[in-house]
Each structure stands twice: as C-alpha cells, then as structure tokens.
Amino acid sequence: MKASQDQALILLFISFSLTACNVYGQNPPDAAQKITVTTVQSKPTTITQQYVCRINSHHHIEVRALEDGYLQEVYVKEGQAVKKGDMMFRFLPVLQQARLDSELAEVQIAQLELNNTKKLSDKNTVSQDEIPLRIAKLNKAKAKAELARAELNFANVKAPFDGIIDRLPRQQGSLVLRGETLTNLFDNSMMQVYFNVPEKRYLEYMAEQGQNRESPDIELILADHSKFPHTGKIGAIGAKFNSETGDIAFRADFPNPDGLLRHGQAGTVRIPRVVKNAIVIPQRATFQDQGKWYVYVLDKDHVAHQREIFIENETEDIFIIKKGIGIGDTIVLDGVRLIRDGQKVESEDRKPK
C-alpha cells in the first residue's frame, strides 16, 4: 500500500512538471528546440535623434518710452496684431511742443538777422565777414529745431515692424519715465528653435556637411505630442561649447504662417540621420537581464551562446548595434525565451529583411 502511494505521488509530480513546462513555453532542458534564426547583415538605416528645444520669435523687442511724460492714448490691446508704422502709444506733448515752438522762433530770428546783415553788407555798412557768422547762427538754430521736432515725435510711439502686442503694464493717464517698458512686440512669422547637441553628434553633422549633404528637414513636436505641420532647417550653430555639459547650441528656423507658434514655447525637435552601414537587428531577437542586453548566437554546432550587445540607437522595432555581434553572425530571431545558454537547438533559417 505504501509503495503504491509513493508511485502515485511520483507520477503526479512528473505530470505537474510537464504541465508547468508547457505553460511557460519550455520543454525539458535536454529536448531540442526548433527556433528561427537569421544572419546579421548591415544596411543603410534612417534613425531619428530627438532634442528638447525652446521656441523664440525671430524678431522681438521691448518697446520703451523715449521721454518722461503722461501716457495720453493707448491705441493697441494685448494680443493684437499690428503692422509696421501703426500708432501704438501717444504721450502728452506739452513740453516737447513748447520746445519746438521756441526753437522755430529762434530760426526765424536768425533768418531775419541774416537778411538784415546781407542788406547792410550791400551798402558796405558791415563787414563781409558778418554774413558767414549769421549763416552759421541760422544753421545752428535749424539744427536745434530739428532736434526739438524729433523729441516731439517721441510722443508718438509707432510699431517698427509687423508683430503681436504683449502685455500692457501701463494704462492711459499713467506717468511714464524715460526708458520704462510700455510693452513687448513679437514678430512670429518665422520662429527660431534652439536646442543643445552633444559634441559627438556635432562632429557627425559637420562631417556630413563636408560631404555636401543637404541639411535634413527637421520636425517639431509640440507639448501635446502633435507634430507641427511645417518642417525647419538648421539656421545657425553656436560659437562655443558649454564647458559644463559638453553641448553646443543649434538653431533651426521654422516658418509660422498660421501663427500657431509663440515666443517662449517648448517642444522637441526630431532630426533624421542616415547611417550607411548600420548593423541592425529586430528588437524581438534581444532580451534584457540586470540592465544589460543580450542575444543568442549560434555556433557551427548549433549551440546557442548568450552574448552581450551594446546598442547605439533604436527605432520603433530595431536596434542599431554598436558592438557585441558582427556581420555574418547567426542569431536567434524568434524563440529567445525558449532556450538557455549552451543549449543545442534545431533551427529554421530566415533571411533578414
């Protein structure tokens, strides 16, 4: 009776072990597995590099008061689009107007003195040297009048270019001091997108440009993960590297005909790059263990050996390999979780795509 119970327990244990192996997709260690393998090759591959960026208007200024005065009129609203030459602000021009009137009166006096001196000179009553002195005095008076006229024009603040009005910290009737900010003006027709690039990628880019390759079209991804409908081009590269980060600033220029982009936005730029002789393998052929990536490489006896690989870049479904495997190596493509290191396997070859 005791022997029968022991045999029953042994049979139950074997049945449970076989069931567990089937559940996890594994056969007993000594059983050969039929898996799919492929040969590692190289091919031209397009990869996309991403960088966090900040977005600036290509032309933006602070509009400041040129003289002290009371803000008489505010002709614009926050967020309003203006054209070059549009009136934005007007200051109460009492002092400037009075100064101009005074200088114009001096011009009249100087002109009368010159006319009178010319008459007296014709009668030999005064020396001929008096005329150049009167002309110089008249010219000086005219110059001071022009200066006063320019100061009067400072009372009218006009848009220097097409743009969008920012906040208005000062309202009508405010006393504004010279140099105080009235608003900011942004021209968003073209946007400058700045991002930092590591030194290695900078050297790769410069080498590609040295081969007369055309600058790639750059995509811009916005904060909601949508893609900006227009592509950009590299417009400038910084003059120096950041000694702390080892990066250098790049600038991409994007057209903004619909005005979607605004100064100060953040996003991500995507730059495509073609790697000529890239060693690529499908991601499904790899597995991870303790933070490291591995593949199974088959030797001539069809024995699988676990080998660590180092990944240089990746796309949606492939890894670009930096080192670890080479062209001509045979690796397990499908079934990496069905085998173990050192196991001899039956394989079906599949040509790489």
Q: Rounded mean pLDDT of 321-344?
A: 90
| pLDDT exceeds cutoff 70 at 26 | no
Q: How many CA atoms lie within 13 A of 323 on its CB side?
A: 0
| pLDDT exceeds cutoff 90 at 120 | no
| pLDDT exceeds cutoff 90 at 68 | no
Q: What is the pLDDT of residue 25?
A: 41
Q: What is the pLDDT of residue 9?
A: 47
Q: What is the pLDDT of residue 6?
A: 53
- For residue 214, the 8-state DSSP code is P
Give the pLDDT band (50/70/90) at residue 84: very high
Domains of the chain: 28-45+277-349 (2.40.420.20), 48-58+188-275 (2.40.30.170), 61-185 (2.40.50.100)
Estimate the crossing angle of helix 130-153 against helix 94-122, to 10 degrees.
160
- Six-digit token pair at 127? 């020396």
Q: What is the pLDDT of residue 18?
A: 44
Within 8 A by CB and 6+ apart from 14, the residues are none
**Which residue in this structure is represented by tokens 């085998």?**
339
- Please, what is the average pLDDT of the chain? 84
In the chain, % of residues over pLDDT 90: 44
Element (H, E) at 60: strand 42-64
C-alpha angle 138-139-140 in degrees, rounded to nearest 5: 90
Q: Which of 54-68, 76-90, 143-157, 330-344 has the lowest mean pLDDT?
A: 143-157
- Most confident option among 54-68, 137-151, 313-327: 54-68
Q: What is the pLDDT of residue 225?
A: 94
| pLDDT exceeds cutoff 80 at 185 | yes
Q: Which of 5-14, 253-262, 291-300, 324-333 has the lowest mean pLDDT?
A: 5-14
pLDDT, one tens digit per residue, over 286-303 is 999 989 999 999 998 889
| pLDDT exceeds cutoff 60 at 10 | no
Residue 337 DSSP SS3: helix
Instruction: From residue 237, give the alpha-carbon distance in Å to each of 77, 205, 234, 242, 256.
Output: 36, 11, 8, 13, 21
Q: Which of 142-156, 159-173, 209-223, 292-306 has the lowest mean pLDDT?
A: 142-156
Q: Which of 47-56, 147-156, 180-189, 263-272 has the lowest mean pLDDT?
A: 147-156
Residue 55 DSSP SS3: strand
**What gap in Å lies between CA 236 and CA 215, rounded to an integer?**
12
State the alpha helices, DSSP H only, in the chain.
Answer: 2-23, 94-122, 130-153, 199-210
Q: What is the pLDDT of residue 204?
A: 85
Q: What is the pLDDT of residue 245?
A: 92
Q: What is the pLDDT of residue 304?
A: 92
| pLDDT exceeds cutoff 70 at 67 | yes
Nearest to 176 by CA among 76, 72, 80, 96: 72
- Six-digit token pair at 6? 């022991």
Q: Rounded mean pLDDT of 114-131?
A: 77
Nearest to 329 by CA among 42, 30, 2: 42
8 A C-beta contact, residue 14 and residue 244: no
